[in-house]
Each structure stands twice: as structure tokens, then as C-alpha cells.
Amino acid sequence: MIDTTGSGAERIIWAARSMPVLTQVAARVKSAGTLNGLRVGVSLVLEPKTANLAIALRDAGADVVVYCNASSTDQQVVEALRAREFRVFADSAATEADELQLAREFLETGLDILIDDGASVTRLAHREYPELVAKMIGAAEETTSGVRPLRVMHEEGQLRLPVIAVNDSAAKYLFDNIYGTGQSCVMAFLDITNLQLAGRRVVVVGYGWVGMGVAKFAAALGARVIVSEIDPIRALRALHDGYEVTAFREAAGAAEVVFSCTGLADAVTAEHVEALPDGAFLCTAGGGDFEMPMEYLRGLDGPRHVRHAVTAFTTRSGRTVNLISEGDCLNCADAEGNPIEVMDLSLSLQALAVERLAADAKDWQPGVYDLPADIEQEVARIRLEAAGGSLESLTDRQREAARAW
């Protein structure tokens, strides 16, 4: 067999070749010197694309430290970053207790700016290190499941930092969540199982940006997609996109593959699992294993690791259910996450969010801030041009017409 894994260093270079936006943005930030002398903590899924963000931020003048939880850590990338003398607080074999210790050590380096994913480190910092939070300039949040608790913290007067919700930028969620996560979760499922989706009934639980992408890629491969939603507008949108829309409690009996895309706990319950047909698959594409009924699954008889990333359980009704990636997000836990070009976009937004925090946020009050519009426009324009596209511009007459009333 040919060794197809490559080394961490080679895979970082491989990703860099398809990340022209990050390269351009980092060169601009470097020439501005805004990040000189600042410590930036990167707490994102740790794989080759993120490594390039860490490298770009360091090239632009920051002192960069890196943290990641075990299930999202690519150990080859850890070693490659350490070989470049980065301080990396991550270990793919870490236990929960080790992870917590690593996160504490990461925070204890004394961050000026944090890039976080799921707000996990931001929350830990607020719980355990208020004195370090007080010295921080701000944070940038990557994902939906992080922005939600940050808004709650702010409403309850608990947030002590300005945080830019990078996730909420259209230049992020319209591409990363829909096309990136949609493609990578569906492809990860196919690679893990060596099956095809054609003709299979796939239930997509949650039709937000991620659910939209998962449904789109599954349908493109021939799946018969059923969407389950709690929000009538999003459910109606799924209907207009051509999918059957049915409550999960009714659709479960036909669900050969389930993708949970809600980012909320208990999207899939024990009752849903008991109703699944024999041999069904459970996948999380959203926030993590809390979307699955892990306690109930762990209580079932004889879990069996039947192939890489697939655990089979026998339900109380005697059927087999296959849990993918132990309930974690399958595209990050058992594949390389979102495609490189999509992450070039998202990580470039992060780099510029960090620069904006460094330049302006010392005067900002704690709160959740939108990514400034000029940043998303700049990044989208560079990406478009890198892909060979170009933009039309308004004529003077059009500009006048747009201002008329």
C-alpha cells in the first residue's frame, strides 16, 4: 500500500497553495504592523488550514499560541507547528481532564486576542481567569454554537470582552456553513462508510446554513432528503428547495441516515433512535456529540467498533444503529474539515477581525459585534478575483438613480 497520509508539514504547504486570500491579507497586515508585539491565541479545529492561519498571523507580527481539544486535533499538524517553534496546547490522545489542563495553560500564556470556536475557551476564561480577561483586547468567534452563548452572556451582563461574531458575516456562513460543511460532512460519511447515498432516505435535522448545505450535497448524490425543523420559515424554505418537510418524530421510522445540524442539545433523542430502521446511521454535522442521546446510547448493550469511526449499538427494540465519529462532528473528527478554499475565506475573515480588534477594540465596550462590512467586502472581492471572477461597477447614472426618491 502507498502511504497516502503525507507529513504534517507537507499537508500544511498543500493547503497554503489554495489559500491565496490569506496570503494577501497577511501581507497587508504585516505591512501595517498592527499585530506587532501582540499575543494571539488560536483555538480552532487544528488541521493544515488552521496551521496556515497561525503561520500567517505570526508572519504578520503576532506571537501566536495554539489550543485545540483532542477530537479536533490532527497530531501531525501539532508536530509540524512545534517544529516551527509554535507553542501548541493540543494532543489528539488527551483525556477530558488533559484537555482542560491544556486550555488552562493556553490561557495562562496571557492572550491579547483570542480566536475561539464554540466560545469554549472564552467561557473558561470568564469562569476561571477574570484577571486575564480584564487584560485582553477582545476575541473573534468562528461558529454559530459559540455566538449563541456569547449573546446570552452579554444579555446577562456577564460578557467582559468585545467579541466579533465572525460566524455571522455573510462572507462566512453563506460559504463555510453551507458549501464547506455541507460538502465535507456528506463526503466524510461516504468515505467512512464506503457506501453511497443514492436512493437512501436522509433526514436532515435543522435547516439552518449547515442543514441547507448537507441537504444540498446529499440530494445532489441521489439521496431522498427529508428535513425536520422547528422554525416555520426555515421549514418552508426547505419545502421550496424541494425537500419533504416532516417532524423528526414522524420521519424517524424511515431515516436510513440522520444528519443532526442544529447545534443544540438533544436534537436526536432516545425515542427517535428507537424508531430508526435497522442499520441506520447517526451523524452530527452541527455542534458536537451533545446533539446525540449519548447517555442512552452508552447504556445500550454491546457497542461494537465495526470499522473506523463507526460504532454499532443494539437498540432496546433489537435493531442496529451505527453512530459515526462517536457523535462528534464527522467532518472534523474523521476527515479534514471544510474544503481549503472555503476555509481560506473564513480564516482570512478571522485574520482581519484580529487586526481590527488590535487597531480599534481597546475603546470598545464588552459585547458581540458584527464583523465590519468593509472586511467582508474586501475578503469576498479577493476570493472572487483569485477564482478568476470579476465585478461590475455602477455607472454615474445608476448611482444617481439609486439616490433618487
Ligand X SMILES: NC(=O)c1ccc[n+]([C@@H]2O[C@H](COP(=O)([O-])OP(=O)(O)OC[C@H]3O[C@@H](n4cnc5c(N)ncnc54)[C@H](O)[C@@H]3O)[C@@H](O)[C@H]2O)c1
Confirm if 117 and 44 have CB atoms less than 8 A apart: yes
CB of 102 to ligand X, least distance (A): 21
225: β partners: 202
Quick check: 143 binds ligand X (CB under 6 A)? Answer: yes
Quick check: 112 binds ligand X (CB under 6 A)? Answer: no
Which of residues 8 and 337 has its CB atom nearest to ligand X in the complex?
337
CB of 70 to ligand X, least distance (A): 16
Quick check: 206 binds ligand X (CB under 6 A)? Answer: yes
Quick check: 250 binds ligand X (CB under 6 A)? Answer: no
Confirm if 212 and 182 have CB atoms less than 8 A apart: yes
227: β partners: 204, 245
CB of 22 to ligand X, least distance (A): 18
The continuous run of DSSP H or E covering 162 comes out as: strand 162-165
Task: Please say whether the dihedral angle defined by the alpha carbons of residues 367, 373, 378 and 384, taken in this order, is positive or negative.
Answer: positive
Residues whose CB falls within 8 Å of the CB of residue 341, separated by 6 or more in sequence, listed in order = 18, 19, 383, 387
Of 48, 61, 182, 286, which lies in the binding site for ligand X, with binding defined by CB under 6 A?
286
C-alpha cell at 73: 486535533
Quick check: 228 binds ligand X (CB under 6 A)? Answer: yes
Quick check: 120 binds ligand X (CB under 6 A)? Answer: no
Quick check: 151 binds ligand X (CB under 6 A)? Answer: no
Write out the binding residues for ligand X, residues 258-277 only, by CB under 6 A: 261-264, 267
Cα 22 off chain centre by? 18
Which of residues 322 and 338 has its CB atom nearest to ligand X in the complex?
338
The CB-nearest residue to ligand X is: 208
CA distance linking residue 244 with residue 241, whole number of Å: 9
Confirm if 44 and 50 have CB atoms less than 8 A apart: yes
Quick check: 285 binds ligand X (CB under 6 A)? Answer: yes
Of 145, 193, 315, 348, which lies in the binding site for ligand X, with binding defined by CB under 6 A?
145
Write out the binding residues for ligand X, residues 82-111 only, by CB under 6 A: none
CA distance linking residue 300 with residue 10, whole number of Å: 42
Residues in touch with ligand X (CB under 6 A): 143-145, 173, 176-177, 181, 205-211, 228-231, 234, 261-264, 267, 285-287, 329, 331-332, 337-338
